[in-house]
C-alpha cells in the first residue's frame, strides 16, 4: 500500500482514535485533530509512535473556517497534502425539538456538518492535483432513521449522506472516492452515558445483541481508505450490528 497523509478530525478518543491508529497501522502518516483534549490527542500520537508510525497532534476547531485553514496549513507544512480525510468530529446537544434552542441546533450543525463541508473542500484541492483521494465521513444510523431528542444531530448526519453522494459525483473522474460510515451503538464515551436500562433496551433492538467497538468502525475506515475500495464511492457503509434492519 502506498503511504499517504491522513487527517482524522476529532481523533483524541473513541472512533476517531481507533481510526487514527488503524490508518497509522496501515502505514500512513496521521494528523490527530482535537479541540480541547490535547493530552488525549498527544497520547494517541505517542501510541502511534511507539508502534513505529508517524503522527502529530493538531488543535483546531473544524467548525470554523479559520480553524480548518490553520489545521490544513499545519498538516501540509509537516507532511504535505492530505490524501485521506476522515471527517469524524462530532457533538450532541440532545433535547426534544420544542425544548431545543437555536444555539443547540447551530452548534451541532457546525461541528457535525459544517466541519465536513469545510474540511472536505480544503482537502479536495490537493486531492484534485494528485488525482487520488479518500474522503470518509462519519454519519450515523440516527441520520438514516431519525431518533427522538436528536433532531439536530439526525439532521446533521442525514446532511452528511446527501453531501457524500453529491461530492462523489463531482470528483469521481479524478480518482477521488467519497464515502460515509454509519455506526450504530458503539462503546464510546457518548454511549457510556446511557444507563443500564437504556443499554439493555438498545441491545434488544440490535440483531447481534451487543454494542460495537471503535475498532469495528475503524476496520470500515481502513477498507474505504485502501486501494481495495478504489471502485467504491458515494456509499454509506452501515456498521450497526443489525440495528437498522
| Residue 153 among the catalytic residues | yes
Cell 444555539, residue located:
103
Handedness of CA 214, 4, 80, 122 (dihedral sign): negative
d(CA 168, CA 236): 12
Say which of 34, 79, 153, 223 is annotated catalytic: 153
Exposed, middle or buried, 3 (CB in 10 Å: 0-12/13-18/19+)? exposed
CB neighbour list of residue 67: distance below 8 Å, 6 or more residues apart: 60, 61
d(CA 138, CA 8): 11
Exposed, middle or buried, 165 (CB in 10 Å: 0-12/13-18/19+)? middle
Exposed, middle or buried, 119 (CB in 10 Å: 0-12/13-18/19+)? buried
Alpha-carbon distance values, 159 to 44, 104, 206 (Å): 29, 17, 24
d(CA 63, CA 8): 14
Q: Catalytic residues, which ones?
A: 153
Amino acid at each position: 500500500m502506498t503511504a499517504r497523509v491522513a487527517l482524522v478530525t476529532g481523533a483524541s478518543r473513541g472512533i476517531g482514535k481507533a481510526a487514527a491508529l488503524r490508518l497509522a497501522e496501515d502505514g500512513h502518516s496521521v494528523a490527530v485533530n482535537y479541540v480541547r483534549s490535547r493530552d488525549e490527542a498527544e497520547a494517541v500520537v505517542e501510541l502511534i509512535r511507539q508502534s513505529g508510525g508517524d503522527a502529530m497532534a493538531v488543535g483546531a476547531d473544524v467548525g470554523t473556517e479559520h480553524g480548518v485553514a490553520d489545521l490544513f496549513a499545519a498538516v501540509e507544512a509537516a507532511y504535505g497534502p492530505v490524501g485521506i480525510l476522515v471527517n469524524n468530529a462530532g457533538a450532541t446537544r440532545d433535547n426534544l425539538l420544542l425544548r431545543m434552542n437555536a444555539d443547540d441546533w447551530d452548534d451541532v450543525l457546525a461541528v457535525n456538518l459544517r466541519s465536513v463541508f469545510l474540511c472536505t473542500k480544503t482537502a479536495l484541492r490537493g486531492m484534485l492535483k494528485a488525482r487520488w483521494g479518500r474522503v470518509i465521513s462519519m454519519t450515523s444510523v440516527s441520520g438514516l432513521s431519525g431518533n427522538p431528542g436528536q433532531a439536530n444531530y439526525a439532521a446533521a448526519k442525514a446532511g452528511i449522506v446527501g453531501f457524500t453522494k453529491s461530492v462523489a459525483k463531482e470528483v469521481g473522474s479524478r480518482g477521488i472516492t467519497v464515502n460515509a460510515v454509519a455506526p450504530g451503538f458503539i462503546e464510546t464515551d457518548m454511549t457510556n452515558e446511557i444507563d443500564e436500562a437504556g443499554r439493555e433496551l438498545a441491545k434488544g433492538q440490535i440483531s447481534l445483541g451487543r454494542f460495537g467497538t471503535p475498532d469495528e468502525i475503524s476496520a470500515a475506515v481502513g477498507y474505504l481508505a485502501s486501494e481495495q475500495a478504489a471502485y467504491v464511492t458515494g456509499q454509506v457503509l452501515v456498521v450497526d450490528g443489525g440495528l437498522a434492519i
